Amino acid sequence: MKFCRPAISALAVTLFSLSFSVSATADTVPAAAAPADQSQTELPLEELRNFAEAFERIRSSYVEEVDDETLFGYAINGMLTALDPHSVYLQPEDFSELRETTTGKFGGLGLEVGQQDGLVLVITPIDDTPAQKAGIKAGDLIVTLDGEAVVGMSLGEAIEKMRGEPGSPITLEIRRDNEPTLLSFTVERDEIKVRSVRSKLLSDDIGYIRITQFQEETGAELNKTLKKWQDDKAVKGVILDLRNNPGGVLDAAVDVSNAFLDNGLIVYTEGRAASSKLKFSANSDTTARDLPLIVLINGGSASASEIVAGALQDHKRAVLVGTQSFGKGSVQTVLPLANDKAIKLTTARYFTPSGRSIQAKGIEPDIWVEQSDVTPIARNRTIKEADLRGHLDNPNQDKSADQNKEISKDDSQNDTELLAKDFQLYEAHTLLKGMAILGKH
């Protein structure tokens, strides 16, 4: 199984979109793809003796009794978490949690999280979840959970503490840049149902599609929307919003890219094992081959989002607008162990078609636009020729067309309010209008 997401943990609050089929997912490779390195079959006996001695001393002398199974679990988890932020030891219950995330339904707060300086880093709050509605933002650092300090907890322990029955509250203290004191949020847990694809036809026949995370059906939902728009009316262009999208299933990232590309490489992976060297290419089954396209990205766009953005940018198929993406370019493989346990191990890096690795770097937008509100300056009423008494009529004027224009203006009022709240979307909309106009000539 392959995953492409800022890896954090498989528990309910973070919730990676992992696929448990043998097909790839944006973060993980099939379980058979990571055989042991045959060049290192000999075990280091001295280190094993040290491990056994340390294990026995902890077992016999630690201040409180800890059973053997728990100690071995700690040892495995310690090995994995020391490697990188995305390798994790999965307990049996984690599998069902991960399966739920691929279908877009799970319990928790609705946060994608990682770990930074001993604190829990918010990668992004998921749309329409308790965390997002409470005002928690990407980049926030969680300091305490119900008054208990996060420092000293493993990421899994912190996530487990954030889990709970729907309707039960939890108080988070958060450190935020440019805020002099800690911020306190009391959030009520809920069952999280994530809609992967949201769409709206904006004014000037410009389609707006937001993908919140990459799930198994994301590609099909996107293609359905694009086909409907093209069948119903001549949509002039599409804005694909991948901001604060933490990633998900690799197959979905390939399907989304293929909706706009009809040939060429989309992404490839490279690792130590031969079976981790994979390539994914577009085919001719393309829904929107020629539609003008703008992709919105920001610091919360990670993994599968970066695969899509990188592929479309390399093929010069889209203009990327926004800010630099998160920079997760590694692939994790879920490897089953005995007793329904598993490890999620980083086994490869992925690369864009031109050979770029975005690991710890991210995707740079073509047009850098910071987020802000759109604040038009109030304009004074000015006198025009049409206001002068006795002015000559325009012989080419079509009054019915003017009336239709006014109706269209009224219909687009809600779009204006949406664009006014989102400067990056406003800039993308303006740019796409220009591209559509130039495309007519």
Which residues in the chain show pLDDT less than 50? 5-25, 29-30, 32-36, 403-411
Cβ proximity of 350 and 363 under 8 Å: no
Q: Compute the distance between CA of residue 233 and CA of residue 236 in angstroms, rounded to an integer.
A: 9
The answer to whether position 43 is within a domain reads no
Cβ proximity of 111 and 136 under 8 Å: yes
pLDDT recorded at residue 30: 42
Cβ proximity of 277 and 270 under 8 Å: yes
The answer to whether position 315 is within a domain reads no
Chain segment 359-374, per-residue pLDDT in tens: 999 999 999 999 887 7
pLDDT recorded at residue 99: 59
The answer to whether position 138 is within a domain reads yes
Cβ proximity of 358 and 325 under 8 Å: yes
pLDDT recorded at residue 188: 95
pLDDT recorded at residue 32: 47
Chain segment 279-319, per-residue pLDDT in tens: 999 999 999 999 999 999 999 899 999 999 999 999 999 99
Residue with tokens 């690795």: 357
- Provide the CATH number for the domain around residue 167: 2.30.42.10
- State the residue range of the domain holding 166: 108-193
The answer to whether position 413 is within a domain reads no
Q: Compute the distance between CA of residue 138 and CA of residue 148 in angstroms, rounded to an integer.
A: 22
CA-wise closest residue to 350 among 431, 257, 422, 228 = 257
The answer to whether position 173 is within a domain reads yes
The answer to whether position 180 is within a domain reads yes
Active site residues: 303, 314, 328
Tell me the chain's radius of gyration from C-alpha atoms.
Answer: 25
Q: pTM of the prediction?
A: 0.76
pLDDT recorded at residue 154: 80
The residues that bridge with 108 in the sheet, in sequence order, are: 190
The answer to whether position 144 is within a domain reads yes
The answer to whether position 237 is within a domain reads no
pLDDT recorded at residue 351: 98
Cβ proximity of 140 and 174 under 8 Å: yes
Q: Report the Cα 44 to chain-centroid distance in Å.
A: 40
pLDDT recorded at residue 125: 86
Q: How many domains does the chain have?
A: 1
pLDDT recorded at residue 309: 98
Mutual angle of helices 399-411 and 413-421, in 10-degree steps: 50
